[in-house]
Protein backbone atom coordinates (compact mmCIF):
# COMPACT_ATOMS: atom_id res chain seq x y z
CA UNK A 1 0.00 0.00 0.00
CA UNK A 2 2.80 2.37 0.94
CA UNK A 3 4.66 1.48 -2.28
CA UNK A 4 1.58 2.21 -4.39
CA UNK A 5 1.04 5.46 -2.52
CA UNK A 6 4.69 6.40 -3.09
CA UNK A 7 4.43 5.61 -6.81
CA UNK A 8 1.24 7.68 -7.05
CA UNK A 9 2.80 10.64 -5.25
CA UNK A 10 5.93 10.34 -7.39
CA UNK A 11 3.86 10.47 -10.59
CA UNK A 12 1.88 13.44 -9.27
CA UNK A 13 5.16 15.19 -8.46
CA UNK A 14 6.35 14.65 -12.04
CA UNK A 15 3.02 15.87 -13.44
CA UNK A 16 3.13 18.93 -11.16
CA UNK A 17 6.53 19.94 -12.55
CA UNK A 18 5.18 20.81 -15.96
CA UNK A 19 3.59 24.19 -15.29
CA UNK A 20 4.38 27.49 -16.99
CA UNK A 21 7.37 29.12 -15.25
CA UNK A 22 6.68 32.41 -13.48
CA UNK A 23 9.79 33.96 -15.06
CA UNK A 24 11.87 32.02 -17.59
CA UNK A 25 15.12 33.85 -16.77
CA UNK A 26 14.96 32.75 -13.11
CA UNK A 27 14.43 29.13 -14.16
CA UNK A 28 17.34 29.35 -16.61
CA UNK A 29 19.53 30.70 -13.81
CA UNK A 30 18.48 27.83 -11.55
CA UNK A 31 19.13 25.30 -14.35
CA UNK A 32 22.66 26.67 -14.85
CA UNK A 33 23.25 26.57 -11.09
CA UNK A 34 22.18 22.93 -10.95
CA UNK A 35 24.34 22.07 -13.97
CA UNK A 36 27.32 23.48 -12.09
CA UNK A 37 26.43 21.62 -8.89
CA UNK A 38 25.65 18.26 -10.47
CA UNK A 39 28.11 18.36 -13.36
CA UNK A 40 31.21 20.18 -12.19
CA UNK A 41 30.58 19.28 -8.56
CA UNK A 42 30.88 15.58 -9.40
CA UNK A 43 33.66 15.83 -11.99
CA UNK A 44 36.50 15.18 -9.52
CA UNK A 45 35.12 11.96 -8.06
CA UNK A 46 34.07 10.71 -11.52
CA UNK A 47 37.60 11.32 -12.86
CA UNK A 48 39.29 9.51 -9.96
CA UNK A 49 36.96 6.49 -10.12
CA UNK A 50 37.17 6.21 -13.91
CA UNK A 51 40.97 6.30 -14.09
CA UNK A 52 41.40 3.70 -11.34
CA UNK A 53 38.66 1.41 -12.64
CA UNK A 54 40.29 1.47 -16.09
CA UNK A 55 43.71 0.80 -14.58
CA UNK A 56 42.48 -2.10 -12.46
CA UNK A 57 40.60 -3.57 -15.45
CA UNK A 58 43.79 -3.67 -17.52
CA UNK A 59 45.84 -5.32 -14.79
CA UNK A 60 43.18 -7.90 -13.90
CA UNK A 61 42.44 -8.73 -17.54
CA UNK A 62 46.14 -9.24 -18.21
CA UNK A 63 46.39 -11.42 -15.09
CA UNK A 64 43.68 -13.72 -16.40
CA UNK A 65 44.79 -13.85 -20.05
CA UNK A 66 47.84 -16.05 -19.62
CA UNK A 67 47.63 -17.99 -22.90
CA UNK A 68 50.28 -16.99 -25.46
CA UNK A 69 47.70 -17.77 -28.17
CA UNK A 70 45.60 -14.73 -27.20
CA UNK A 71 46.96 -11.50 -28.69
CA UNK A 72 47.78 -8.67 -26.28
CA UNK A 73 45.41 -6.36 -28.16
CA UNK A 74 42.58 -8.38 -26.63
CA UNK A 75 43.37 -6.75 -23.28
CA UNK A 76 42.62 -3.32 -24.74
CA UNK A 77 39.44 -4.59 -26.39
CA UNK A 78 38.17 -6.08 -23.13
CA UNK A 79 39.04 -2.95 -21.15
CA UNK A 80 37.38 -0.74 -23.79
CA UNK A 81 34.14 -2.74 -23.90
CA UNK A 82 33.90 -3.21 -20.13
CA UNK A 83 34.48 0.47 -19.49
CA UNK A 84 32.06 1.62 -22.20
CA UNK A 85 29.32 -0.91 -21.58
CA UNK A 86 29.33 -1.16 -17.81
CA UNK A 87 31.85 0.74 -15.74
CA UNK A 88 31.37 4.22 -17.19
CA UNK A 89 27.57 4.33 -17.17
CA UNK A 90 26.62 2.03 -14.29
CA UNK A 91 29.42 2.36 -11.77
CA UNK A 92 29.74 6.10 -12.26
CA UNK A 93 25.97 6.55 -11.92
CA UNK A 94 25.90 4.48 -8.73
CA UNK A 95 28.58 6.75 -7.32
CA UNK A 96 26.64 9.80 -8.54
CA UNK A 97 23.52 8.47 -6.82
CA UNK A 98 25.53 8.83 -3.61
CA UNK A 99 27.12 12.17 -4.43
CA UNK A 100 24.44 14.09 -6.34
CA UNK A 101 21.43 12.09 -5.15
CA UNK A 102 22.07 12.57 -1.45
CA UNK A 103 22.78 16.26 -2.07
CA UNK A 104 19.44 16.73 -3.87
CA UNK A 105 17.51 14.84 -1.16
CA UNK A 106 19.14 16.69 1.74
CA UNK A 107 18.87 20.10 0.06
CA UNK A 108 15.14 19.70 -0.62
CA UNK A 109 14.58 18.03 2.76
CA UNK A 110 16.25 20.92 4.54
CA UNK A 111 14.20 23.42 2.52
CA UNK A 112 11.02 21.56 3.45
CA UNK A 113 11.82 21.29 7.17
CA UNK A 114 12.95 24.92 7.48
CA UNK A 115 9.77 26.11 5.67
CA UNK A 116 11.72 27.51 2.70
CA UNK A 117 9.47 25.54 0.32
CA UNK A 118 6.40 26.98 2.08
CA UNK A 119 7.91 30.45 1.70
CA UNK A 120 8.24 29.90 -2.06
CA UNK A 121 4.67 28.58 -2.28
CA UNK A 122 3.36 31.65 -0.45
CA UNK A 123 5.19 33.86 -2.95
CA UNK A 124 3.12 32.16 -5.66
CA UNK A 125 5.92 30.03 -7.07
CA UNK A 126 5.23 26.47 -8.23
CA UNK A 127 7.90 24.76 -6.14
CA UNK A 128 7.81 21.50 -8.11
CA UNK A 129 8.59 23.39 -11.30
CA UNK A 130 11.14 25.71 -9.73
CA UNK A 131 12.96 23.28 -7.46
CA UNK A 132 12.64 19.83 -9.05
CA UNK A 133 12.47 20.35 -12.82
CA UNK A 134 15.84 22.18 -13.07
CA UNK A 135 17.50 19.42 -11.04
CA UNK A 136 16.17 16.64 -13.29
CA UNK A 137 16.94 18.63 -16.44
CA UNK A 138 20.46 19.44 -15.22
CA UNK A 139 21.11 15.80 -14.33
CA UNK A 140 19.93 14.66 -17.76
CA UNK A 141 22.17 17.24 -19.43
CA UNK A 142 25.28 16.73 -17.34
CA UNK A 143 25.36 13.05 -16.34
CA UNK A 144 25.56 11.67 -19.91
CA UNK A 145 28.48 14.09 -20.41
CA UNK A 146 30.10 12.73 -17.26
CA UNK A 147 29.57 9.21 -18.61
CA UNK A 148 31.43 10.17 -21.82
CA UNK A 149 34.25 11.70 -19.77
CA UNK A 150 34.33 8.54 -17.63
CA UNK A 151 34.64 6.40 -20.75
CA UNK A 152 37.61 8.41 -22.02
CA UNK A 153 39.34 8.57 -18.64
CA UNK A 154 38.70 4.87 -17.92
CA UNK A 155 40.31 3.81 -21.17
CA UNK A 156 43.15 6.29 -20.62
CA UNK A 157 43.69 4.91 -17.10
CA UNK A 158 43.82 1.37 -18.51
CA UNK A 159 46.36 2.40 -21.13
CA UNK A 160 48.46 4.18 -18.51
CA UNK A 161 48.43 1.22 -16.11
CA UNK A 162 49.17 -1.26 -18.91
CA UNK A 163 52.17 0.78 -20.04
CA UNK A 164 53.44 1.53 -16.52
CA UNK A 165 53.26 -2.14 -15.50
CA UNK A 166 54.89 -3.25 -18.75
CA UNK A 167 51.86 -5.35 -19.66
CA UNK A 168 51.17 -3.83 -23.05
CA UNK A 169 52.82 -1.14 -25.16
CA UNK A 170 50.86 2.04 -25.93
CA UNK A 171 50.82 1.25 -29.64
CA UNK A 172 49.49 -2.24 -29.03
CA UNK A 173 46.83 -0.85 -26.67
CA UNK A 174 45.76 1.74 -29.27
CA UNK A 175 45.56 -0.95 -31.93
CA UNK A 176 43.38 -3.06 -29.62
CA UNK A 177 41.09 -0.11 -29.00
CA UNK A 178 40.43 0.31 -32.71
CA UNK A 179 39.86 -3.40 -33.39
CA UNK A 180 36.21 -4.44 -33.73
CA UNK A 181 34.97 -1.21 -32.22
CA UNK A 182 31.15 -1.00 -32.20
CA UNK A 183 29.79 2.58 -32.03
CA UNK A 184 26.46 1.04 -30.93
CA UNK A 185 28.09 0.31 -27.55
CA UNK A 186 28.58 4.04 -27.00
CA UNK A 187 24.95 4.66 -27.96
CA UNK A 188 23.88 1.94 -25.51
CA UNK A 189 25.99 3.51 -22.75
CA UNK A 190 24.40 6.90 -23.41
CA UNK A 191 20.90 5.42 -23.27
CA UNK A 192 21.84 3.99 -19.89
CA UNK A 193 23.27 7.37 -18.89
CA UNK A 194 19.98 9.16 -19.66
CA UNK A 195 17.83 6.58 -17.85
CA UNK A 196 20.14 6.51 -14.81
CA UNK A 197 20.36 10.30 -14.64
CA UNK A 198 16.56 10.50 -14.45
CA UNK A 199 16.62 7.97 -11.59
CA UNK A 200 19.49 9.75 -9.79
CA UNK A 201 17.67 13.09 -9.81
CA UNK A 202 13.96 12.28 -9.58
CA UNK A 203 14.07 9.66 -6.80
CA UNK A 204 16.10 11.82 -4.34
CA UNK A 205 13.95 14.83 -5.30
CA UNK A 206 10.85 12.83 -4.38
CA UNK A 207 12.24 11.73 -1.00
CA UNK A 208 13.62 15.17 -0.18
CA UNK A 209 10.52 17.10 -1.25
CA UNK A 210 8.21 14.93 0.87
CA UNK A 211 10.25 14.92 4.09
CA UNK A 212 8.19 15.41 7.24
CA UNK A 213 9.83 16.07 10.59
CA UNK A 214 13.31 17.30 11.44
CA UNK A 215 17.02 16.73 10.90
CA UNK A 216 16.78 13.00 11.60
CA UNK A 217 14.17 12.56 8.87
CA UNK A 218 16.35 14.49 6.40
CA UNK A 219 19.17 11.99 7.03
CA UNK A 220 16.79 9.05 6.67
CA UNK A 221 15.30 10.44 3.46
CA UNK A 222 18.77 10.98 2.06
CA UNK A 223 19.87 7.41 2.84
CA UNK A 224 16.62 5.97 1.51
CA UNK A 225 16.96 8.03 -1.68
CA UNK A 226 20.47 6.67 -2.33
CA UNK A 227 19.48 3.06 -1.60
CA UNK A 228 16.36 3.16 -3.77
CA UNK A 229 18.26 4.95 -6.58
CA UNK A 230 21.04 2.32 -6.55
CA UNK A 231 18.58 -0.58 -6.62
CA UNK A 232 16.61 1.03 -9.46
CA UNK A 233 19.84 1.70 -11.41
CA UNK A 234 20.82 -1.97 -11.16
CA UNK A 235 17.31 -3.06 -12.12
CA UNK A 236 17.20 -0.66 -15.07
CA UNK A 237 20.70 -1.82 -16.08
CA UNK A 238 19.46 -5.39 -16.34
CA UNK A 239 16.29 -4.44 -18.25
CA UNK A 240 18.17 -2.22 -20.72
CA UNK A 241 20.85 -4.87 -21.29
CA UNK A 242 18.19 -7.51 -21.91
CA UNK A 243 16.30 -5.24 -24.29
CA UNK A 244 19.06 -3.51 -26.21
CA UNK A 245 21.97 -5.95 -26.40
Partner 1 sequence: MIEVKNIQKKFGDKVVIENVSAQMKPGQCNLIIGASGSGKTVLMKCMVGLLTPDQGEIMYQGENFFAMDHEQRTNIRKEIGMLFQGSALFDSLTVEQNILFPLDMFTTDSSSQKLKRVNEALERVNLKDVNRKFPAELSGGMKKRVALARAVVLNPKYLFCDEPNSGLDPQTSLVIDKLIKDLTVEFNITTVVNTHDMNSVMETGDYIMYMYQGKKEWEGTRKDIIFSKNQLLNDFIFASEFLKDAKDMRMLEEAGKIPNVRNMDDMTRP
Please identify, among the stretches 5-13, 59-67, 119-127, 167-175, the one whose residues bind partner 1 according to the rule CB under 8 A.
Answer: 119-127
Out of 12, 119, 164, 244, the residue judged to bind partner 1 by CB under 8 A: 119
Out of 124, 166, 183, 245, the residue judged to bind partner 1 by CB under 8 A: 124
Which of 145, 207, 185, 160 shows the shortest CA–CA distance to 9?
A: 207
Out of 12, 118, 164, 239, the residue judged to bind partner 1 by CB under 8 A: 118
Q: Is 66 helix (H, G, I), strand (E, B) or coil?
A: coil
Cβ proximity to partner 1: between 72 and 125 the closer is 125
Query: How far is the C-alpha of 115 from the C-alpha of 27, rounded, in Å?
Result: 21
Interface with partner 1 includes 1 (CB under 8 A)? no
Helix orientation angle between 183-209 and 133-164, rounded to the nearest 10 degrees: 130
Interface with partner 1 includes 122 (CB under 8 A)? yes
Helix orientation angle between 2-17 and 183-209, rounded to the nearest 10 degrees: 100
Q: What's the chain's length in residues? A: 245
Cβ proximity to partner 1: between 119 and 244 the closer is 119
Cβ proximity to partner 1: between 175 and 210 the closer is 210
What's the Cα-to-Cα distance from 167 to each of 66, 77, 180, 225, rounded to whole Å? 11, 14, 21, 41
How many Å separate Cα 30 from the centre of its chain? 20
Please give the torsion angle defined by the CA atoms of residues 111, 113, 116 and 117, in that order, rounded to the nearest 10 degrees.
80
Restricting to residues 13-32, name those near partner 1 by CB under 8 A. 19, 22-23, 26
Out of 60, 74, 110, 223, the residue judged to bind partner 1 by CB under 8 A: 110
Please identify, among the stretches 57-65, 111-119, 175-183, 208-216, the one whose residues bind partner 1 according to the rule CB under 8 A.
Answer: 111-119
Cβ proximity to partner 1: between 110 and 241 the closer is 110
Contact yes or no for 192/89 (Cβ under 8 A)? yes
Cβ proximity to partner 1: between 20 and 66 the closer is 20
Q: Which residues bind partner 1 (CB under 8 A)?
A: 19, 22-23, 26, 110, 114-116, 118-119, 121-125
Amino acid sequence: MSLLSDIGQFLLMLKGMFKRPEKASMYWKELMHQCMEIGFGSLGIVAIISVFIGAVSTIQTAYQLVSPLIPLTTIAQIVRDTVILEFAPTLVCIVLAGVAGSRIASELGNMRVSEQIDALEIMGINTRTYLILPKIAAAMLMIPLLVIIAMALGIWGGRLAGTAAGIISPNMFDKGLADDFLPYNVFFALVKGYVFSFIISSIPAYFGYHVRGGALEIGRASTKAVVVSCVLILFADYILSALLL
